[in-house]
């Protein structure tokens, strides 16, 4: 039988975060945090939002899961959580069951955390009506901070996901010929991502020619000799996302390509070197803006990288307001790019593990030092 020590995530860190918080219990509901805490991927909740699953986790107690009967057998087989309360959808209220669990724990007047960034207003109102004497507050930051630190199994999963996606993109571009459409390439890439082990395709920005100046999905544009090609793509691997950026060209590079790419790589290397314990995403972002200005490249973006895991964008973000210091065990992408809409764009994005000895590249497939010539 699975125990909490067999999970991908760090349940000891989760317990400590709850026990040391100012909340008596938290209520987990988002697909990403359910995946983390239960170690089960609830795929339909991404599309059927009213088929709710909740985990009620109180201080110094084991968690209790409120789950639709549709999911009961899967949870009993796959999760380490054994205390399940099941409901029949369209007949029973999952929120009322959550309130009942909290009452069993003697927390009708407790301080209860919930996921304000996910739980819809109608369910929040229902919870407050069922627990009129409780103080209900948001716990999103607590959960985000737990997930910032990746366990070795999570790192291995992300490494495999990123390299599987990068190899799929390399294969898709290696077979490009003049006259193929962006959609032709995108379909090959999607098939390659699935063949690499992803359960689904999660991101598919694909452009060629002047469409590289956009951040958009593939179109019917037919690729021409001499076109720059750009992709920002990813898959969903056991609930964890890949998100990689690469640039290629059908034909020989010209002086403009070399000049722009050389400047972007200089920026990328300096930013990568800042992914060290004690630095912040805010500091990296401001350095990025300065480096772009020094190299006469526009920088209109709101971020230049992010952590990744059960969401594509996780904290810490390389952004103007990110003050959380990096620590060993966190991961971050560095996403350096430039776009001139209606003209051309270039894009690179790789994933790094932050260690005491400096950043470690996890996305080692499809070398990004030079523009790939097809």
The enclosing domain of 310 has a CATH number of: 3.90.230.10
List, in sequence order, the alpha helices (H) in the chain.
Answer: 11-19, 31-38, 69-78, 94-104, 121-130, 140-147, 152-174, 182-195, 255-273, 281-294
The domain total for the chain is 2
Residues 179 and 311 occupy one common structural domain: yes
pTM of the model: 0.96
- 347 and 201 fall within a common domain: yes
- Are residue 34 and residue 77 in the same domain, yes or no? yes
Q: Tokens at residue 205, please?
A: 């920005």
Is residue 56 a contact partner of residue 102, using CB atoms and an 8 Å limit?
A: yes
Indicate if 265 and 117 belong to the same structural domain.
no
What tokens were used for 95? 């929120």
Tokens of 89: 């959808």
Kindly give the confidence (pLDDT) of every residue in the chain, 374 residues in length, as a single tens digit, with 9 standing for 90 and above: 899 999 999 999 999 999 999 999 999 999 999 999 999 988 777 788 889 999 999 999 999 999 999 999 999 999 999 999 999 999 999 999 999 999 999 999 999 999 999 999 999 999 999 999 999 999 999 999 999 999 999 999 999 999 999 999 999 999 999 999 999 999 999 999 999 999 999 999 999 999 999 999 999 999 999 999 999 999 999 999 999 999 999 999 999 999 999 999 999 999 999 999 999 999 999 999 999 999 999 999 999 999 999 999 999 999 999 999 999 999 999 999 999 999 999 999 999 999 999 999 999 999 999 999 99
pLDDT of residue 321: 98
DSSP 8-class letter at 50: T
| Same domain for 234 and 93 | no
Let me know whether 165 and 107 are in one domain.
no
Q: Which of 109, 127, 147 is the last residue of a domain?
A: 147
Return the number of other C-beta atoms located less than 10 Å from residue 294's C-beta: 11
* Pair 107, 229 in one domain: no
- Buried b / exposed e along 25-60 (16+ C-beta atoms within 10 A): bbbbbbbbbbbbbbbbbbbebeeeeebbbbbbbbbe
State whether 81 and 200 are in the same domain.
no
Query: Are residues 335 and 219 part of one domain?
Result: yes
Domain that holds residue 31: 4-147
**Residues 108 and 193 placed together within one structural domain of the fold:** no
Question: Most distant CA pair in the chain: distance in Å?
Answer: 71
């Amino acid at each position: 039988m699975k125990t909490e020590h067999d999970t991908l995530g760090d349940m000891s860190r989760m317990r400590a975060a709850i026990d040391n918080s100012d909340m008596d219990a938290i209520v987990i509901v988002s697909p990403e945090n359910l995946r983390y805490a239960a170690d089960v991927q609830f795929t339909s909740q991404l599309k059927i939002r009213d088929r709710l699953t909740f985990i009620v986790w109180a201080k110094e107690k084991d968690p209790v899961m409120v789950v639709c009967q549709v999911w009961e057998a899967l949870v009993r087989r796959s999760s380490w959580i054994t205390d399940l309360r099941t409901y029949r959808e369209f007949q029973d209220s999952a929120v009322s069951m959550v309130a009942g669990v909290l009452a069993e724990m003697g927390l009708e007047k407790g301080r209860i955390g919930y996921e304000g960034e996910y739980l819809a207003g109608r369910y929040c109102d229902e919870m407050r009506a069922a627990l009129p004497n409780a103080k209900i507050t948001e716990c999103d930051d607590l959960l985000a901070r737990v997930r910032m630190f990746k366990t070795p199994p999570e790192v291995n999963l992300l490494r495999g996901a990123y390299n599987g996606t990068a190899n799929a993109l390399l294969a898709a571009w290696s077979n490009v010929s003049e006259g193929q459409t962006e959609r032709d390439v995108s379909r090959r890439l999607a098939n390659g991502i699935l063949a690499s082990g992803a359960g689904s395709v999660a991101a598919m920005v694909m452009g060629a020619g002047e469409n590289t100046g956009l951040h958009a999905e593939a179109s019917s544009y037919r690729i021409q000799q001499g076109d720059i090609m750009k992709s920002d793509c990813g898959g969903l691997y056991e609930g964890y996302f890949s998100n990689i950026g690469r640039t290629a060209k059908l034909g020989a590079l010209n002086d403009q390509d070399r000049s722009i790419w050389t400047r972007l790589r200089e920026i990328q290397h300096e930013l990568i070197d800042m992914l060290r314990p004690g630095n912040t995403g805010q500091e990296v972002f401001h350095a990025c803006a300065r480096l772009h200005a020094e190299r006469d490249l526009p920088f209109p973006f709101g971020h230049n990288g992010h952590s990744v895991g059960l969401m594509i964008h996780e904290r810490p973000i390389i952004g103007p307001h990110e003050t959380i210091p990096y620590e060993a065990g966190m991961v971050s992408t560095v996403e350096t790019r430039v776009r001139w809409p209606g003209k051309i764009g270039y894009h690179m994005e790789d994933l790094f593990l932050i260690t005491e000895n400096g950043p470690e590249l996890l996305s080692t497939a499809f070398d990004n030092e030079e523009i790939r010539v097809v």
